[in-house]
Amino acid sequence: METVRYKDLGRMGYQEAWDYQTAVHQALIAHKINHRGQPLESYAQAHQLLLVEHPPVYTLGKSGSMDHLLLTETELRERGISFFPINRGGDITYHGPGQIVGYPILDLERFFTDVHRYVRNIEEVIIRTLAVYGIEGYRIKEYTGVWTKTPATATQPAMQRKICAIGVHLSRWTTLHGWAFNVNTDLGYFQHIVPCGINDDDKTVTSMAQLLGRELPLDEVKQQIKIHFAEVFQCQMEE
């Protein structure tokens, strides 16, 4: 069983966190290269799961469109929002206070070499975490991430609401980037983008706080993520 080090980075600027996870990612790859040709059981890998909150920032994946950012540079600056084009998959999304961003940095050759399974596993971690709070999360075949549903009412149609966005990047089967899980997130920031490039009338975003009608202690939710990450990835967590 692999050991994954759990680290809570607290609130950290996007660039600083990107630099941090990149350094960890490169160290895992370098360690793998240095032991090329040796049996995997002959050396350990320093996998990490990083959890972090970011100040308000929009990030645009390599397959995304700038048209999905609805603010000018001046408007971003006036609102105190940063913007970063990055090398993960996916389109544009928002990170900010009250949101738990997860960066698993894993050498997948120690787990399984299947990108789709990796993304499904991340979704499963979030689905199990939501279930603890009585929220049913599910997948939509055409879209990556975790969704919830609001039933139709007399005045509004049923809505599928995205609660967790996922965007990853792999190099030498070593993972980078991860997920953005809306817990107590201010959803107003999503009005200035086309979230994940999805512009369907029956789809929008949500948060745990919106669904439950109350804010949740982030540390409590992080501990649930940690528990379910260990279950789903069949690993041992250490701090």
| Dist. CA 205–CA 116, nearest whole Å | 23
- Domain coverage including residue 224: 3-238
Q: pLDDT tens digit string along 176-196?
A: 999 999 999 999 999 998 877
Residue of 196, 198, 211, 225 marked catalytic = 196
Residue 164 a catalytic site member:
no
Number of folded domains that form the chain = 1
- Are residues 32 and 45 in contact, defined by beta-carbon separation less than 8 angstroms? yes
Q: Is the pLDDT of residue 91 over 90?
A: no
pTM as predicted: 0.92
Predicted confidence at residue 231, as pLDDT, reads 98
Q: What does pLDDT average to over the chain?
A: 92
Query: What whole-number distance in Å separates Cα of residue 147 and Cα of residue 125?
Result: 13
Segments of 73-232 assigned E as strands: 82-85, 92-95, 99-105, 138-140, 143-150, 159-171, 174-182, 203-205
pLDDT per position as a tens digit, 140-178? 988 899 999 877 666 767 789 999 999 999 999 999 999
pLDDT-above-70 percentage for the chain: 98
The CATH number linked to 232 is 3.30.930.10
